[in-house]
Structure 1
Amino acid sequence: MNYQLNYDLIFSEYYFGRLVGGIQTTIVLFVLVLSLGLVLAIILVALRSSPFKPLRWLVAAFIEYQRNVPLLVHLLVWYFGIAAVLPKPVSDFANQHGGEFFYGAVTLTLYGGAFISEELRGGLRAIPRAQYETARSLGLSGLQALRLVIVPQAVRNALPPVVSQALSLYKNTSVTAAIGVAEIMYRAREISTETFRVFEAFSIATLVYFTGSMVVLAAGSLLARQMHIPGRERQ
């Protein structure tokens, strides 16, 4: 029996509404974890630059743990393990306000923040120490040297790999379907099970991820052009 494509059922008001809801959840989750991940990454870079060695070692161990353990394992540890040992008020609050989304967001934030922090640190390390010393010799304070000379260059250096990490983070939102976060992959699987229109449901999910990825890359390219210094060769 030949399989014939038919999107009519998928695009009915009931199922299409659920797909739209899944897309909205995916976008909200991505924007949230990217924003929090960037903040966490900056904090990790600052802590790893601390003169206090035990703190640097602790931060380095956290980053290596996040980077070298599969994302799905992190997700299951948070959802089934850490959630069980959290204080009851915290656990109750999370469960009453979408526990799956909460634990999925925490997992992706920690995971993405660790990767992004290494890209930011690499951008900083690529700047010669002499530039900081030169800025100081010109009369800039330490904070001014960082803000006006070092950080802008570090951001430019780190932008391409950070955009790549943002793209990975967007695609990794699909992993949260494993714990029941109702994003687009979860909805596609749910609809395919109910309607038996497997190809149709997952082809729409594929299109959503592809379109979103192109948007992230376009945003990164636009940002790179805005930050480009005239006369300097683009990387």
Structure 2
Amino acid sequence: MNYSFSFFKDCLISGLKYLPVTLRIALISIALGTVLALIVAIIRFYKVPVISQILTAFITVYRAIPMMVLMLIFHLIFVMYFNDVARFFHSNLTVNDVGYNPLAYFVMTLGTMTGVNECFRGALSAVPKIQFEAAQSVGLTTTQTLRRIILPQMFPVAFPSYMSNIIGVLKGIPLLGAIGVIEVMQGALLEGTKSYSYLEAYTAVALIYVVFIAIITIVFEKIEKKIFVHQPTIGS
């Protein structure tokens, strides 16, 4: 079978129709996951009793399980128990009413949190202990120390690794098709299956992601140059 650019165009257009869904899932999960990752990193860095150990164990187990397996597990739990939980709270909502997008936000947020958490924790560890001691000597609280001294030094160090983690999260979004979420990948395949033009559909998705990731990378690099170029280096 010859490659058809006409089918490629149809698959490309069909995939682009669902780009807003992909962008919405990406933005919400990255925003929530980043906030959670920072909170978890601080808890683990300060070794908060019990909580830090529980979070460390959770992150270790979560990162050890393939993302596809996690998605399928969460999908089965969601389908099996959502209606029962809704009835417990006296709600008439069913799985069909809410769809699978909330599950996508949940899975991708956890994926973002577990990945980004490590780069934040590593960056926190890179800040010299003398910085903490100096802050305590002038009477700053832990919150003030983090906000005024530690985090401004941490973010420039964490940013390159953070950027890499976020790109990894974005490239994992096509896996959501396994749990019934229609995004760019599934959108292109909707058109591709009509004519069995799967190669055209996959190359259309590849092109969309190449452009998408390239734009994200350029934006991140500009942010890094403009925001962090005048930031002090660790220990200065």
In structure 1, the partner of 2:191 is 191
Deviation digits for residues 124-160 of structure 1 (CA, Å, limit 9, x no counterpart): 0000110122233345444332212110111111111
Q: Is the 8 A contact 2:3 2:200 kept in 1?
A: no
Q: 1:49-88 maps to which residues of 2 (within 5 A)? A: 49=45, 52-86=48-82, 87-88=84-85
In structure 2, the partner of 1:175 is 175
Residue identity in the other structure for 1:175: L
Give the TM-score of the pair, scaled to structure 2.
Answer: 0.86
Q: Is the 8 A contact 1:83 1:91 kept in 2?
A: no
Change (3 A) 1:24 1:200: same
Indicate whether 1:120 and 2:116 are aligned. no
Deviation digits for residues 182-221 of structure 1 (CA, Å, limit 9, x no counterpart): 1111122221111223332222111111111112211221
Residue identity in the other structure for 1:3: N
Q: What's the % identity of the aligned pairs?
A: 23
Give the TM-score of the pair, scaled to structure 1.
Answer: 0.86
Q: Displacement of 1:56 after TM fit?
A: 1.4
In structure 2, the partner of 1:21 is 17
| Unaligned stretches of 5+ residues in structure 1 | none
Change (3 A) 1:220 1:227: same
CA distance, structure 2, for counterparts of residue 16 and residue 206 of structure 1 = 10
SS of corresponding position for 1:182 = coil
Moved more, 196-205 or 214-223: 196-205
Q: Displacement of 1:5 after TM fit?
A: 2.2
SS of corresponding position for 2:127 = coil
Aligned length: 229
Change (3 A) 1:50 1:161: same
CA distance, structure 1, for counterparts of residue 73 and residue 110 of structure 2 = 13
Q: 1:123-142 maps to which residues of 2 (within 5 A)? A: 123-138=123-138, 140-142=140-142
Q: Is the 8 A contact 1:23 1:183 kept in 2?
A: yes
CA distance, structure 2, for counterparts of residue 91 and residue 73 of structure 1 = 30
SS of corresponding position for 2:15 = helix
SS of corresponding position for 1:195 = coil
Q: Is the 8 A contact 1:166 1:216 kept in 2?
A: no
Aligned-residue RMSD, C-alpha: 2.5
Change (3 A) 1:51 1:205: closer
Higher relative contact order (CA 8 A, sep 6+): 2
Q: Is the 8 A contact 1:34 1:166 kept in 2?
A: yes
Q: Is the 8 A contact 1:163 1:216 kept in 2?
A: no
Moved more, 106-115 or 220-229: 220-229
| Unaligned stretches of 5+ residues in structure 2 | none
Indicate whether 1:40 and 2:40 are aligned. no
In structure 2, the partner of 1:30 is 26
